[in-house]
Structure 1
Amino acid sequence: MDLAYAWYEAMRAMLAPARVAADMTRHGLENPANPLAYSQYFRPVAAACEMFERATRRYGKPAFDLKSAVIDGNVVPVSERVVWSRSFCQVITFDRGFVRGPAEPDPKLLIVAPMSGHYATLLRGTVEAMLPNHQVFITDWTDARMVPLLDGVFDLDAYIDYLRDIFRDLGPDLHVMAVCQPAVPVIAAIALMEAENSPNIPVSMTLMGGPVDTRRSPTAVNCLAQERGMRWFEQNCITVVPPIYPGVFRRVYPGFLQLSGFMAMNLDRHVTAHSDMFHHLVTGDGESAEKHRDFYDEYLAVMDLTAEFYLQTVQTVFVDHALPKGEMMHGDTPVDLSAIRRCAILAVEGENDDISGVGQTKAALDLTPNLPAERKAYHLQERVGHYGVFNGSRFRSVIAPRIARFIRAMEGRQSSGRHLREVG
């Protein structure tokens, strides 16, 4: 597998002339000054050229491109700003041209994006839904192929250390939302901080479709890890970054392999979508074609993961089930979820989630016996799959308001607690 990345890049280089030729042909046939652009016989040719160019393209990191938000009925400008940065991650905040009065400041919300192949921009809709009522921050993880080998390793322990540093620097009045994969490192980081009695423990954590205990309602993804074993993953998923990137010689789980797995899980749906796209291009349905482009420009943009992070996560979360068994370690320190006594937990699951089955995220509520019941909450969203847990119409209309109410409630209890301590 060590040469797989090099062969992949060589194939892309060989296809480059054909891709350029296809793109030039498409633009020529779609030029309004070209009489052939109006011929029904050449539209399929132009459509085929675009489909070929898109199929062989390297999709770069998309932009959040959130320029405005609607707050209290007013459209206000939004701008991005980096507030925290390390080799493998930066934290972005979205500044809004709007500030509530000092009596009712908006809660600070850190969205921990998954490091599972796609960029943080996959959560653009999540950020947009939370912006009107929160000061939103998001983790923007770095593509491993872009990090020089001299910057060191990045494994699950390092991920947890990053989170603890971020919580400390943004806290203590911080709320955290973990989308899918980060559920385990987020709850582990907070458990370690609680055990140390840190003053920077987040007020609450919202865990969304996360694999806290994959023994519950196991999905095909969970079963694969059990069936294959770690040796298979190391032999078939890990390769080395070629010399054309800053991370040359770093061992990674490359984005192109991850993407092949994503596509294979729902191959029929993707084949149908691309067939429909070809039809939209031939018939001139520009609006439908543009929706397809927008979705796949995001979906096909993938990043490499460090081999040590990927393998340690598979071993800890999906093979050993170390967290729910009480056996997870951070370095030499046990991760004890019973240490969580202050940070509130909201678990959110989707009824039709085929990645993290129902009950896997809810397990966090059962594994924290010393957290008071009034600081625990659960929401099962009907008729949504994994993606619908954090994006889409039901997320905007039901789940996001539910999270906002939970955050406000925990803010109130936090403020009451501070007031009572001050009076005492």
Structure 2
Amino acid sequence: MLRFLFCALIVATPVQADKLDAFAAERLKDAVLLFDQEFRNDETGQYLDSIRLDDRNGSPLSSIAASGMGLISLAIGDATGVIPDAEIKAETTLKHLLGLNNDTDFAVERSVNGWYRHWFNVNTGAVPKGSTEKYSTIDTAILSAGAAILGNYLIDQAERDNTPIPQAALLAQQLVMSINWTTAIRDPQRGSIHLVFYGADAERPTDNVATIPFDEYALLPCMAARFENLTRNEGDATLFWHSHFGDVEELPMPQHENFTLLGKPSGNVPSHFTHQFAFYLCGDYARDPAFLDELRELKKADRQWFESKGATAGLWGLGAGSEIVFDQHNRIEKYRYGVARLGQNPNKTASPAIMAGFLPVDVTDGTQTILAELKALWDTGACRYEHENLEFMWRCSVKDPSLQVKRLEAIDFSTWMLGLATAHPNVGLEFFQDYAF
């Protein structure tokens, strides 16, 4: 297995480096435990879409994408020793997703080509009103990417230990291979991808809604091409990937001020979780120095945008999740879900989860700049949260970083965990380069 190992050149003093390493390890531990103890339903193995950070009761809705990140959290939890029964828990999750469970009444329906719905009840698998016939390609891809990472990790560990391949790894492979990935391709010439299908059997696409490079939907052709490679049947999906997505330097690179950034042909640069998900979940991107160069440029542009708005030094991160909306008198008007990107962040919300998501840049550059920024913010209490005795950093307002939002969304929070994992000696950047599909 090909590994890319990078030697870190520590630029801070040894004491500082030790403190930053300890900070990263402790925060990663709590992030993994948040997924395991707060997002996860032990009976069905599914993960909640979000949890409340106040005293109100949360929703029982699970997100299929959150379950994908939950599977990755189990792999990281196993690698770091945080979750000793990760294999058993992964088996529970995957059996319920594949309809192989016989200990609960949980059941999720899938479309004829294997696509899952975005949301369902974490206890039963029932879907909320309004989404009964709607199947999501990107959320299925995130689930499957998480399953692939978990499965490849477990197989590698079994080979190292000369032990049988765990059942959870076999179930993960079964899930990934149960999806007809090529059906997500909408137009091979334009490089467009279906966002959703309607109807379990007919799989009717939307008439006018599709996506083209570049956004998080790049994960779909990545999965499809890898699927064809594994089945030794390289065809339309492989050609589609190489024609529209595989060459990073040929992807749209709009100009934003003094930066050339990976984005859309329209000139818009998507929220930065888009680039981070593609990096962590698609092995071809994780191993590509050109994609890492784009993350490096995005990090600079992100930080500069916040500096230009007068943010506290070291506070930045253009992502998605809960945010605080202020009125014209700078009083809190409401809390809502928001997506921030360059040029579109009206409430000036910063995201330490996005900051952490850029840690692979520092890892490869041999610096600890982002960790130092996060630790400095932590020490002042900015963007700092505690829930059920677990501590973490989450979205906050540049106007007052001590104010807290009311909800924690699993999929948006995941880059906090993924990024910190790359800085951990038992995980590292090579974890994603080796195990992502």
Asked if TM exceeds 0.5, the reply is: no
TM-score by length of 1: 0.27
Structure with the higher fraction of residues in helix conformation: 1
TM-score by length of 2: 0.27
